C-alpha cells in the first residue's frame, strides 16, 4: 500500500528560540505548508527573527519564553502555557526541535493523544560529558521516546543510541540542510570581501559560533595565541552571554591584533568565502551547519573529535580532527595547512565534494519520505 504525505493537518512546530526557526526550519515548514497543512510556531522571542517570521514569511508565531535549561524554575509555567495553547488551537501534530521543546512537546502529545515528531539536533548527553549529566538527560530522553511517533537524528552516535529505545520509528538524516541558493544574490568576490574586512595577505581563520562555553572559545583563543607569531587573522562571527569573558581572555593572551570579533553577521557566507580555514573545537554538537557551510565553500576544517563534528570531517582528507582541549595539536595542524598550499587545495576540493550530501535539496527529500511514516 502506497504511503501518503501528511496533509490537511494543523501542525505546531516547537523550537526553543525564534532564531532556530529563522535559520534552519523555514524550508521544511514551507514543504509542510505545500502539502496542504497549516503550520504555526511556538518559541521564545530573542531578536528580530520573531517579528520577521510573521511579517516576511507569514507565519503565525506564539511566544513562550523557553529557557535552554529544562530544569529552569519557569519550565512548569511554560508547560502550562503550551497546554493552554493546545486546548485553544487543537493541533493535530506536534513537531518539536531541540531539548527543551522536545520535552514539553512530547508531554503535550502524550496528554492530548496526538502524534509527535522530534528532531534531535544533538542529544544533551554525549561522549565526554559528566556521568551525572549524561545519566539525567539520557533517562529523560529514554522515557520520552515512548511517546515519540518519529524520532529523527543527525549523527551516528544519536541514531545508534535512539534505536535502543521505544520510539515508534527512528531515522537519521544528513543534517538540517544547507541552502546555498539563499546566498546567490548576496555573493561578493573573495578579493572584494577581504578588502571590506581590512585583510591583506594574512592567512585567515574563521569561526561562526555563539559566545557560550559549549563552543570552547578558551581552546580557540589559546590556539591562536600559539600562532601569534604567524601572519594570521582570526575572524569570529557570533553573539552570546560570554562576550566579556572572551574579550578579557583575548587581552590576557595578548592577541588583540590577531582576533576580530565581528558580532552577529548576515553575511557569514561572504566572510567564510574570504577566509582560508574554518576552526571550531566545540565540546558538543549535533551536526554542525556552520561546518557544512564552510565545507561547501571549500574551506579546510579543523575541529574537535566530538559527536557531530567527526561525522563531517575525514581526518587528513578535508581537514583535521583533534581532541577538544588540545590547543597544541590544533595549532600544529593549522600550521601544516598554512605551510602547504597543495594540502590546503586538496582539502578544499574534498570539503566541496563531501558537502554535497548535506544540501537542503537532499535533506528535504529525506524528510518528505519520513513524513509518510506518520
Q: How confident is the model at residue 183 (pLDDT cuts 50, 70, 90)?
A: low
Q: Which CATH class is domain 180-357?
A: alpha beta
d(CA 292, CA 311): 11
Parse the chain into domains and list their residue ranges: 10-177+359-371, 180-357
Per-position b or e across 124-158, b if 16+ CB within 10 A of its CB: bbbeebeeeebeebbebbeebbebbbbbbbbbebb
What percentage of residues in the chain have a pLDDT greater than 90?
A: 81
Return the bridge partners of 279, or none: 302
Out of 127-141, 164-178, 253-267, least confident range: 127-141
Q: What is the edge-to-edge ordering of all strands in the sheet holding 169-172?
A: 60-63, 38-44, 10-17, 93-97, 116-119, 150-153, 169-172
Q: How confident is the model at residue 4 (pLDDT cuts 50, 70, 90)?
A: confident
Indicate if 180-357 has the same CATH topology as 10-177+359-371: yes
pLDDT of residue 185: 62
pLDDT over 90 (residue 316): yes
pLDDT of residue 158: 93
Return the bridge partners of 116, or none: 94
* CA nearest neighbour of 174 among 374, 373, 371, 354: 354
14-54 pLDDT tens trace: 999 999 999 889 999 999 999 999 999 999 999 889 999 99
pLDDT over 70 (residue 184): no
- Which residues fall within 8 angstroms of residue 266, CB to CB, at 6 or more apart? none
- Contact present, 153 and 172 (Cβ < 8 Å): yes
pLDDT of residue 134: 86
pLDDT over 80 (residue 281): yes
- Contact present, 374 and 3 (Cβ < 8 Å): no
CATH code of the domain occupying 10-177+359-371: 3.40.50.2000
pTM of the predicted model as reported, rounded to 2 decimal places: 0.85
Amino acid at each position: 500500500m502506497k504511503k501518503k504525505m501528511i496533509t490537511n493537518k494543523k501542525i505546531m512546530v516547537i523550537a526553543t528560540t525564534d532564531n532556530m526557526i529563522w535559520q534552519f526550519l523555514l524550508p521544511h515548514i514551507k514543504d509542510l505548508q505545500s502539502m496542504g497543512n497549516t503550520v504555526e510556531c511556538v518559541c521564545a522571542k530573542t531578536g528580530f527573527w520573531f517579528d520577521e517570521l510573521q511579517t516576511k514569511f507569514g507565519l503565525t508565531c506564539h511566544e513562550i519564553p523557553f529557557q535552554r535549561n529544562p530544569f529552569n524554575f519557569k519550565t512548569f509555567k511554560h508547560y502550562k502555557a503550551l497546554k493552554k495553547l493546545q486546548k485553544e488551537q487543537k493541533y493535530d501534530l506536534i513537531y518539536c526541535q531541540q531539548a527543551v521543546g522536545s520535552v514539553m512537546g512530547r508531554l503535550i502529545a502524550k496528554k492530548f493523544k496526538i502524534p509527535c515528531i522530534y528532531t534531535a539536533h544533538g542529544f544533551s548527553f554525549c561522549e565526554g560529558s559528566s556521568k551525572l549529566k549524561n545519566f539525567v538527560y539520557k533517562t529523560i530522553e529514554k522515557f520520552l521516546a515512548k511517546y515519540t511517533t518519529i524520532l529523527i537524528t543527525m549523527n551516528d552516535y544519536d541514531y545508534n543510541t535512539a534505536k535502543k529505545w521505544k520510539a515508534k520509528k527512528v531515522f537519521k538524516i544528513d543534517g538540517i540542510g544547507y541552502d546555498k541558493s539563499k546566498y546567490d544574490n548576496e555573493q561578493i568576490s573573495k578579493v572584494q570581501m577581504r578588502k571590506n574586512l581590512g585583510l591583506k595577505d594574512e592567512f585567515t581563520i574563521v569561526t561562526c559560533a555563539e559566545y557560550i562555553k559549549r563552543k570552547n572559545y578558551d581552546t580557540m583563543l589559546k590556539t591562536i595565541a600559539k600562532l601569534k607569531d604567524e601572519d594570521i587573522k582570526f575572524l569570529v562571527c557570533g553573539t552570546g552571554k560570554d562576550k566579556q569573558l572572551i574579550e578579557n581572555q583575548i587581552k590576557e593572551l595578548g592577541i588583540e591584533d590577531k582576533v576580530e570579533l565581528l558580532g552577529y553577521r548576515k553575511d557569514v557566507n561572504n566572510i567564510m568565502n574570504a577566509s582560508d580555514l574554518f576552526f571550531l573545537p566545540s565540546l558538543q554538537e549535533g551536526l554542525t551547519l556552520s561546518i557544512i557551510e564552510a565545507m561547501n565553500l571549500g574551506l579546510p576544517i579543523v575541529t574537535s573529535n566530538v559527536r557531530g563534528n567527526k561525522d563531517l570531517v575525514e581526518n587528513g582528507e578535508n581537514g583535521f580532527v583533534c581532541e577538544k582541549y588540545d590547543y597544541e595539536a590544533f595549532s600544529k595542524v593549522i600550521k601544516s595547512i598554512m605551510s602547504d598550499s597543495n594540502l590546503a587545495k586538496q582539502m578544499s576540493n574534498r570539503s566541496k565534494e563531501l558537502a554535497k550530501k548535506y544540501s537542503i535539496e537532499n535533506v528535504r527529500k529525506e524528510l518528505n519520505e519520513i513524513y509518510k511514516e506518520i
